[in-house]
Amino acid sequence: MSSKSTINFYIISDSVGGTASQLGQAAMTQFPDADIKVSAYPFIRGSDTLLSILEKAEIDNAIVLHTLVDEKLNKTAKTFCEKHELVCFDPLSPIISELEKRSEMVPIQKPGALHLLDETYFNRIKAIEFAVKFDDGRDPKGFLEADIVLLGISRTSKTPLSMFLANQNYKVANLPLIPEAHIPEQIWQVDPKKIVGLTSDREALNSIRRERMLTYGMNPDTEYSKLDRIDRELDFAKELYEKLGCLVINVSKKSIEETAAIIINTLQIEHKKYEQN
């Protein structure tokens, strides 16, 4: 008996994700008529990025398959999935644990140790390193060097989207927007065609921010999650995007892949226009 409802499958890795992808594909081929949507999140490096992805997985009631060899990230995934009763498979840990016991050795916990190091891989790593270095506006110089600059208020998926685009070999820098904070001068020097303004629905942001506070064991009803505060931030971002004349995307009902596809497609169209001129 088949079902028309979509099954969401999240594949998460702190490397390329080839092992998890192949395992997931092997299972999915047994259900050729099922409506399965796969979302891949490779090169996860920080707990905050991982938590953002897992929060989306919870909303999608997704099956999570991960090959996180980093002990901290692995524990974060396990704790979150157990707390939120999210179906999660971690195929590597039992094998690594048994090998550790029998060999009496400590695993190196090196992501992607199996991966063949070619030029494409190194370029991807450079893009990932760029995204990490210039995440959350840490160094304004990155805005001038980036292929893509993401702007957005808190919880509009800036970091997960940066990492996803970096996996496509794009150098991405992002800046969190806060009404009280100064906009770096470098932003005004960037070609607006490279800038993407991320926004979302106020109710979605309220829900996500409340959940994030609960995840950290804090009171969910804070200034951070209040609707009037969210409205003020959204208005500030909207006004900035209009001044910049940049592409604006509402991410509230879009997956990371969908948002990335819009950005990449827009960049390619602009590049073709430039070549024609």
Is 238 known to sit in a ligand binding site?
no
Is 252 known to sit in a ligand binding site?
no
Q: What is the 3-state secondary structure (H, E, C) of the chain?
A: CCCCCCEEEEEEECCCCHHHHHHHHHHHCCCCCCCEEEEEECCCCCHHHHHHHHHHHHHCCCEEEEECCCHHHHHHHHHHHHHCCCCEECCHHHHHHHHHHHHCCCCCCCCCCCCCCCHHHHHHHHHHHHHHHCHHHCCCHHHHHCCEEEEECCCCCHHHHHHHHHCCCCCEEEEECCCCCCCCHHHHHCCHHHEEEEECCHHHHHHHHHHHHHHCCCCCCCHHHCHHHHHHHHHHHHHHHHHHCCEEEECCCCCHHHHHHHHHHHHHHHHHHHHHC
Is 153 known to sit in a ligand binding site?
yes
Is 154 known to sit in a ligand binding site?
yes
Is 5 known to sit in a ligand binding site?
no
Annotated binding site for ADP: 152-159
Annotated binding site: 152-159
